């Protein structure tokens, strides 16, 4: 399959710094979005470490005998250890952490994704938008067991409380999942700066209205800013095209 892709990040309208980070492999083998937390320097450092370490692990072990789910899991755990080491070396950043969402296209394997935290992956197919990942948050769990509604979750005081992130000693498990991909599908990786401002129908509208990837990415970021832009906003779009 042939892929076309684009990435865009913006600090938003409130924050002076950008604690998000993303990386797109130039060959289209993998895509990463990370959203850091833990203060001005800590958040930026955590997301930077995550993207660089995940990238490095994937590049180094791409041709290894590891299965794709094992490769993904180990890359994220490797990044977690690197952040923990940085915390030890810099106690002023001891509370830093980051989310991450990663998609890999590896040889003849099905594409796979893995994530930690509330950075998300969506699939847009034939004008239908589907959230592929499930947030590792207190409110996502509360919605799942019926304690609160999705509408209540959007304004809940605990909506930013993560149940899992990179930069924690108790992170031992990472689940990956294969992706069902067809020609014409678009994948959207994003930080919660997008999804805090836009609900799914608004995201779908942007993708409906802008078939060209760079214009779609710009539209998503601008729409989030129009809704307040309270956080950093990062989007990576990948479209599956016919082989030429």
Q: Kindly list the structural domains of the chain, giving each domain's residue range(s) and its CATH number in brackets, ordered by start.
A: 1-238 (3.60.40.10)
pLDDT at site 172: 87
Q: Are 213 and 239 in contact (CB under 8 A)?
A: yes
In this prediction, residues 84-102 reach a mean pLDDT of: 95
| Among 67-81, 85-99, 135-149, 175-189, the least confident range | 135-149
Across the chain, mean pLDDT equals: 93
Determine the pLDDT at residue 181.
Answer: 95
Neighbours of 186 (CB within 10 A): 19
* 144, pLDDT greater than 90: no
Chain centre to alpha carbon of residue 151? 22
Residue 197's pLDDT band, with cuts at 50, 70 and 90, is: very high
For residue 155, what pLDDT band results from cuts at 50, 70 and 90? confident
* 18 pLDDT above the threshold of 90: yes
């Amino acid at each position: 399959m042939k892929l076309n892709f684009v990435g865009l990040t913006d600090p938003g309208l409130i924050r002076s710094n950008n604690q998000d980070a993303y990386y797109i492999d130039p060959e289209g083998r993998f895509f990463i979005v990370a959203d850091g937390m833990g203060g001005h320097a800590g958040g930026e450092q955590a997301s930077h470490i995550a993207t660089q370490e995940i990238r490095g692990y994937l590049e180094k072990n791409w041709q290894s005998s590891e299965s794709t789910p094992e490769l993904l899991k180990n890359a994220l755990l490797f990044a977690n250890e690197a952040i923990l080491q940085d915390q030890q070396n810099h106690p002023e950043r001891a509370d830093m952490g980051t989310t991450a969402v990663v998609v890999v296209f590896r040889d003849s394997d099905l594409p796979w994704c893995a994530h930690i935290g509330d950075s998300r992956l969506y699939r847009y197919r034939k004008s239908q938008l589907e959230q592929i990942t499930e947030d590792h948050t207190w409110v996502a769990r509360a919605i799942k067991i019926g304690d609160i509604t999705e509408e209540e979750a959007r304004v809940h005081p605990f909506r930013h409380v993560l149940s899992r992130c990179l930069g924690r000693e108790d992170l031992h498990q990472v689940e990956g999942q294969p992706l069902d991909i067809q020609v014409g599908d678009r994948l959207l990786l994003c930080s919660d700066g997008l999804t805090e401002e836009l609900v799914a129908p608004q995201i779908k509208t942007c993708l409906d209205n802008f078939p060209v990837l760079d214009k779609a990415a710009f539209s998503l970021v601008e729409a989030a800013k129009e809704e307040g832009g309270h956080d950093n906003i990062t989007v990576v779009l990948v479209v599956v095209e016919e082989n030429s």
